[in-house]
Structure 1
């Protein structure tokens, strides 16, 4: 009897142990520095990316996997007789989703379901884990689709960004905004809304103030939390991630609070010392 295999892309930011435990396959995005192309999470990691940015004083470009990349990933699974559910990066942020749709259409018999997460990072990761859990329980592709698609509107993904430098280098804020932000020690809080990254707050002053605001906003929704999974996702901010994890374990009933590091795509947009709180609402 055929089974359902769960696929995602490297922006899900799930660490290797979870990917292996839940039997999740990952298609990597590309990170491009000048003439050198890397595979996110395969031939370059976030720490190496930060070193390259410092050396070259510019951000890399990122690129979606091509339809052919997806065909190569999907093909062996379809040949084995299994079905596929792919859950990937928001279509508002990348052509990754559309390229997966194109690839799925090249296989006969409607064997592949492609779901737009409408989110990023471990927001995708939670949806993927829910799907993988259902697949391991023997649910069909149609049942998994019916479970996951309504959840995309229930994801809460918010980050504090320590510096405007990476947003400036990436063309997401002007040099004047970056300069003033640096002078005033502004810490942006970014939230995923309708599939895109939206600046929701500019916290002036110490980083601890921004971190506390991010934490307070999340804990204010503690009665709405889906208690299966949540993530504290960070770029070189482990001590703070441990503190936030401790607070959620103390004040909520979430069963699994995971700490994970951002991959290269999120890191290249937000920079080091980024920290996110990611969960689903009931």
Structure 2
């Protein structure tokens, strides 16, 4: 039985990791200044995106979920003919229509997959499930990495889905936005009130950069610093301390809306790398995808790990 994992373009993971594990990425449409881009997490296009400065102030950017029809067609062509069981993990449904559209597409696929499998020469039944990850960006990437680990353990389909849905409630996420007003405007469009007007005001007028921390996509300001670098160092120290204390899956996911040169210069990154190496944890370091960067703003950072209940202040 071949099991496939599908994520969408809001899921941040290193390209080589995704390719090595045969991860299928469901694209998202990005519209920037009226120009349409299809975000498939292709690394060359992502790097060009950052170097071009397309999300700097003055540019208007939005994302659009693929329609149920588009997703149906992709599932029939790319998934039904390759896998016997498929799990589709989407960005939290509170931020996008992807979960809704993927669920509608799945229902249609389950009613019509037999012909496509017959043409492809695949015997047996096909089954599929769509899971609301309740995560964003690096958090969604962490869930995907853990899911791939579970798939490797050859769990039954029901056990696999149960483990995934239980695990997602244990993912802690840190987000450092570079532009608080950009983030607040985006958040208000999606009903996320975690970024208050006061924090947005402080972020612009006093150069105070917050660290937003919480379970999954539900975060609150946990620290305020005088610079982006100071905020990054706090997050790196938090993550290193949490890794040393123990994590629930051997991964830390870190995505950055920066060029690779800027990423390598991040303060505290080497300390986190050392902590991961010494504790048998893989650091999944990636450029933030186009979709993620549009949602949280260019130059931002997102880190996720899974652990027992704790506070950000416990490890900073």
- Shorter chain as denominator, the TM-score bin is 0.7 to 0.9
Partner of 2:304: 278
Is the aligned partner of 1:263 residue 2:294?
A: no
Query: Structure 1 residues 113, 242: CA separation in 2 closer, same or farther (over 3 Å shift)?
Result: farther
- Measured in 1, the distance between the counterparts of 2:135 and 2:257 equals 18
The alignment's TM-score, normalised by the length of structure 2, stands at: 0.77
Counterparts of 1:87-236 in structure 2, within 5 Å, are 87-106=89-108, 107-108=110-111, 111-167=127-183, 170=186, 172=188, 178=200, 180-193=202-215, 196-201=217-222, 203-222=224-243, 223-236=245-258
**Residue aligned with 2:294, SS:** helix
* Range moving further from structure 2, 35-44 or 23-32: 35-44
Question: 4+ runs of 1 displaced by more than 4 Å?
Answer: 171-180
Partner of 1:249: 274
Alpha-carbon shift at residue 241 of structure 1 (Å): 4.6
* Range moving further from structure 2, 148-157 or 101-110: 101-110
- Measured in 2, the distance between the counterparts of 1:174 and 1:149 equals 30
Partner of 1:32: 31
CA contact under 8 A between 2:175 and 2:212: conserved in structure 1?
Answer: yes
Equivalent residues, number: 279
Query: Structure 1 residues 189, 96: CA separation in 2 closer, same or farther (over 3 Å shift)?
Result: same
Ranges in structure 2 where 5+ consecutive residues have no aligned partner: 112-124, 189-194, 309-316
Query: Structure 1 residues 131, 227: CA separation in 2 closer, same or farther (over 3 Å shift)?
Result: closer
Please tell me the root mean square deviation across aligned C-alpha atoms, in Å.
2.9
Query: Structure 1 residues 245, 69: CA separation in 2 closer, same or farther (over 3 Å shift)?
Result: farther
Alpha-carbon shift at residue 244 of structure 1 (Å): 2.6
**Residue aligned with 2:268, SS:** helix
Partner of 2:64: 63
- Measured in 2, the distance between the counterparts of 1:178 and 1:95 equals 26
Ranges in structure 1 where 5+ consecutive residues have no aligned partner: none
* Range moving further from structure 2, 131-140 or 16-25: 131-140
The alignment's TM-score, normalised by the length of structure 1, stands at: 0.85
CA contact under 8 A between 1:167 and 1:270: conserved in structure 2?
Answer: yes
Query: Structure 1 residues 217, 189: CA separation in 2 closer, same or farther (over 3 Å shift)?
Result: same
Query: Structure 1 residues 129, 140: CA separation in 2 closer, same or farther (over 3 Å shift)?
Result: same
**Residue aligned with 1:91, SS:** coil
